[in-house]
Structure 1
């Protein structure tokens, strides 16, 4: 196994960017490309956090799975056309293309997965659905399904995650948020209407997590839409103990 840090110039973000990659050193089948998990961090974290907070390196080595961990700033992994920071396109297209060129990764949809925690859980679901032709499996842990919080935000809130100006800087005009390509419910309905192959979904959240009600709401929405998915709750809060436990379960769930 090799753990590599890569810096390259992103056209989507108009600057140099950094990501960490876990690359197995050998495949059980000679010359076979590796299946790949694109793994997204949470709010305030960076591309090193999964390596520091979890056993992902050990789990990836055991599974012979390549793992790509980009830096997402506090962007929620969506596009900001005004500043030219296209995080969604970076995750869903450019990063996949660049890593496939650099490493011996499978180019098949069935071998390409995306997952994340909290903000990264939102980013995995949003971009996994938007770029459904690239990703076959999506996993969100303690996912930040917080469009309701964005819509109910106020101008002078003390917390940045309650402040309207912050959400406007991320999502743009909040009056146009519902039904947009940043809306995880609208994306499901769009793919249903287009009769395309919706990626497999795995969602997990701790019962003491402050995001549990938002995850239950999305669970209920997926049931209502008759979408095939896996949803798990267990005791836990918004912390690495929960995420470390469930990233192992995600890897067990992937078609490896």
Structure 2
């Protein structure tokens, strides 16, 4: 497996940016490896997953290309006062990478995941474009931004710079809860959702609320918690290893998860290591 750091000028961002990419040693142009977009948290960047976890070792023999971009502290959004990271992430970056790398684009071989802010970004991307991804992974995700502001008003100025008037947040393309309803109601493309959170994480209660929302939807999903775990890299090192195993199983099954999918929702409210 090769680790590449690509530095290029983004036309959307109007700046030089970086993306780390893990590419398998063996692949065929006629059958490119599956693709995972792996997103960082609020204080991270394109290098976080490589520096903080054993991702390189875990992914070494998988037929999977892993893409790790930088998105500053944008919550993967076209910011009201800031840069257009949503357009960069969902439009420009995939288009640019497809000209340079062997990337799978078929839905059953495409995944998106992330931690904390990146968990929010992964869910936002996957639920806005469910036709693009067969799986979404949220690790200790910031899944309920309005609840975060109510609980900790110090988040409000930053969120207003990103999203603008939060009174307009509900039912928007940034609101994960309304996106769940939209995808579930449409019922054509239903990506599998893998959701992790530690019970001592400051985002645990929000994740339980989001799990309950998924429980009431048609979306197939699995919830995994670990007792006493906080918002920490040691946990995300475990969850990324579990995630890669989950993806390896899924890419072994070429069945696309469309309206003909008959799999039921799955919830596992326990330590995923048990």
How does the TM-score come out when normalised to structure 1? 0.90
Pair 1:112-2:110 in alignment: yes
Q: How many angstroms apart in 2 are the aligned matches of 1:150 and 1:17?
A: 29
**Cα distance, 1:148 vs structure 2:** 2.4
CA shift, 1:48, in A, is 0.4
Partner Cα distance (1:142, 1:188) in 2: 18
Equivalent pair of 1:201/1:230 in contact (CA under 8 Å): yes
C-alpha distance in structure 1 between counterparts of 2:134 and 2:64, whole Å: 15
- 1:143-186 CA-to-partner distances (Å, cap 9, x unmatched) read 012322455278xx6xxxx2422110111111100111000011
**Residue aligned with 2:61, SS:** helix
Counterpart Cα distance in 1 of 2:183 and 2:134: 13
Partner-residue secondary structure (3-state), 1:152? helix
Q: 2: distance between equivalents of 1:141 and 1:178?
A: 23
Residue deviations 1:214-249, cap 9 Å, x none?
A: 110000011122421011111222111100101111
After TM superposition, which residue ranges in structure 1, 4 or more long, deviate above 3 angstroms?
Answer: none
Measured on the aligned residues, the alpha-carbon RMSD in Å equals 1.8
Deviations 1:42-95, CA, capped at 9 Å, x for gaps? 111111010011111112222121110000101111112554x22122222222
1:132 to 115, 130, 142: 130
Q: Which residue of structure 2 lines up, in the alignment, with residue 3 of structure 1?
A: 3
**C-alpha contact (below 8 Å) 1:39/1:116 kept by paired residues:** yes
Are 2:189 and 1:197 equivalent residues in the alignment?
yes
Aligned length: 248
TM-score under structure 2 length normalisation: 0.85
Tell me whether 1:178 sits opposite 2:170 in the alignment: yes
Instruction: Give the conservation status (yes or no) of the 8 Å contact 2:149–2:155.
Output: no
Q: What is the aligned counterpart of 2:215 among 193, 211, 223?
A: 223
**Which stretch of the first structure deviates more once superposed, 40-49 or 131-140?**
131-140
Instruction: Pick closer, same or farther for the CA change 1:249–1:106 going to 2, 3 Å.
Output: same
In the alignment, structure 1 residue 89 sits paired with structure 2 residue 82:
no
